[in-house]
Amino acid sequence: MNSVADLLLARAAEHPRLPAVLHDDAAVSWAELAARAEALASRLQARGVKPGHRVAVDVGSAVAAAERLLAVWLADAIAVPLAAHLPPAEARRRRDASRCVLHAAAGALHPLAEHPPSDAGAGLVVFTSGTTGQSRGAWLDLSALEASAASVVHATSLRPGDRWLSPLPFAHVGGIGVLVRCLQTGATASVMDGFDPAGANARLRCGTTHASFVGRMVERLLADVGAAPAFPDDLRFVLVGGGPVPPALLARARAAGLPAVATYGLTEAGSTVTLADPAQEPSPRCDAGRPLPGRRVRLARDGTIEVAGPTLMRGYDGEPPLPMDGWFSTGDLGEWTPDGRLRILDRRVDLIVSGGENVYPAEVEGILARHPSIDEIALVAWPDPSWGQRVVGVVRWRGAPEEAGVAAFAAAELTPPQRPRTWITAAEPLPRNALGKLDRLAIRARWGSPLLPTSPDQSE
């Protein structure tokens, strides 16, 4: 029996009638969830699943996904969650790359190729969002997930009877983290099959105490609030992650009554690494707070964020393990504030160097997004004979294009290297991944090169 089995049995004994997982059309108690997960674990074992085997898990339905993940762990096996939106070829690639022996899908268990089990116990292979190329499977031991969850539980004072709202899918470490936190405390995982602003707004006003969103979800949520009454005092924490969180967005959220705090996390570190102080006003730049207990964070000479601690993955599945010193280079750029908070700048691969100055797209996008004419904006770089790289703004407007007005706003708010010198109007919503984060690979592929070797500045 492993730690998940101990926790699940404890929750079923202590809080049998409390909802473990809450969905629009279903509420599953801890006793029901334990019974279902144990029954499915027995079926997995009867089909030949042994400790250390990999099992692919469909997560299209959040309630069923929670049951399947727990069942795999009860069998002391390794879960490989597959998102509902994956094309069949990509789902097959991930199953094959992870050496899965079985696929737990809706109502059926499908045998796959035979593979020997690893010497590891229960765990997770969760695929990254692929922001820098093809997604890779991060192999996390169950102990890493539990250490990550425990620190967030402590930092947010989660307790039995609380309710954590999460539209993050169970194919993402953030969504799985919510399930493990609730398992540790007896709180309820209030899950959504995809983000719906109106639905999330209603749930935040109906017993929710904690919530997890990415920045774009908060933007859409605030647009839906309208003249709705204030959020109740029961709502204590709204964690916002998925990349640098614009301070202006946090300020708007707090003005609307959402107790929003910025976080920094990544799949490879088991989810949350830093958490901002809810009692502190958002800083003028992208401040993600201090490291949680057990996390070690340092900056390399080039400003790249490196992390270490018990929540780190073993390594990327099928690739060499982490360096012997235990530090993982995130590829994200950051800096420390004088009082020890981590400020997130951007991903190194997204850095633009214009006129010899570093331009961090996420930081500039957060500033420009404050202009009322802009619905969405992404920065790309074009070669420029004078500047080395010119900053180009790809904009989806709220109404008619307002290039002159936004250029004037940029001149007042940004340094010369940061200002977009060319504007491109996007007729459709900007490409985003399943979490709502900008798909920068797709954006660069579509708009990242000029039609001509040089183009006249359209903002001057």
DSSP string for residues in 141-184:
EHHHHHHHHHHHHHHHT--TT-EEEE-S-TTSHHHHHHHHHHHH
**DSSP class of 321:** B
Q: Is residue 269 part of a domain?
A: yes
Q: Is residue 452 part of a domain?
A: no
**Same-domain check for residues 382 and 321:** no
**Same-domain check for residues 375 and 279:** no
**Same-domain check for residues 17 and 95:** yes
Q: Is residue 459 part of a domain?
A: no
The answer to whether 347 and 333 have CB atoms below 8 angstroms apart is yes
Q: Is residue 454 part of a domain?
A: no
Asked which of 329, 344, 359 is the last residue of a domain, the reply is 344
What CATH number is given to the structural domain containing 297? 3.40.50.12780
The DSSP-derived string for 349-398 is GG-EEETTEEE-HHHHHHHHTTSTTEEEEEEEEEEETTTEEEEEEEEEES
**Same-domain check for residues 221 and 259:** yes
Q: How far is the C-alpha of 213 from the C-alpha of 163, rounded, in Å?
A: 15
The single residue listed with the structure tokens 């922001």 is: 131
**Same-domain check for residues 230 and 288:** yes
The answer to whether 54 and 77 have CB atoms below 8 angstroms apart is yes
Asked which of 344, 359, 390 is the last residue of a domain, the reply is 344
- The total number of structural domains that make up the chain: 2
Q: What is the pTM assigned to this prediction?
A: 0.86
Q: How far is the C-alpha of 189 from the C-alpha of 6, rounded, in Å?
A: 19
Q: Is residue 457 part of a domain?
A: no
**Same-domain check for residues 43 and 109:** yes
**Same-domain check for residues 390 and 267:** no
**Same-domain check for residues 364 and 321:** no
**Same-domain check for residues 325 and 356:** no
**Same-domain check for residues 307 and 323:** yes
Q: In what order do the strands lie in the sheet with 237-241?
A: 26-29, 19-23, 188-191, 163-166, 210-214, 237-241, 260-266, 271-275, 290-291
CB 260: neighbour CB atoms within 10 A?
A: 26
Asked which of 327, 344, 361 is the last residue of a domain, the reply is 344
What CATH number is given to the structural domain containing 387? 3.30.300.30
**Same-domain check for residues 393 and 253:** no
Q: How far is the C-alpha of 347 from the C-alpha of 113, rounded, in Å?
A: 37
Q: Is residue 458 part of a domain?
A: no
Cα–Cα separations (whole angstroms), residue 48 to 20, 33, 53, 78: 29, 23, 9, 14
Q: Is residue 456 part of a domain?
A: no
Crossing angle (nearest 10°) for helices 173-185 and 62-74 = 70
**Per-residue tens of pLDDT for the chain, all 460 residues:** 688 889 999 999 999 999 999 998 689 999 999 999 999 999 999 999 999 999 999 998 889 999 999 999 999 999 999 988 888 888 999 999 999 999 999 879 999 999 999 888 899 999 986 555 568 899 999 999 999 999 999 999 999 999 999 999 899 999 999 999 999 999 999 999 889 999 999 999 999 999 999 988 998 999 888 767 789 999 999 999 888 888 888 988 998 999 999 999 999 999 999 999 888 877 777 789 999 999 999 999 999 999 999 999 999 998 887 776 889 999 999 999 998 999 998 888 888 988 778 899 998 999 999 999 999 999 999 988 778 889 999 999 999 999 999 999 999 999 888 999 999 999 999 999 877 889 988 999 899 876 433 333 333 2
**Same-domain check for residues 279 and 296:** yes
Its domain, for residue 116, covers: 3-344
Q: Is residue 11 part of a domain?
A: yes
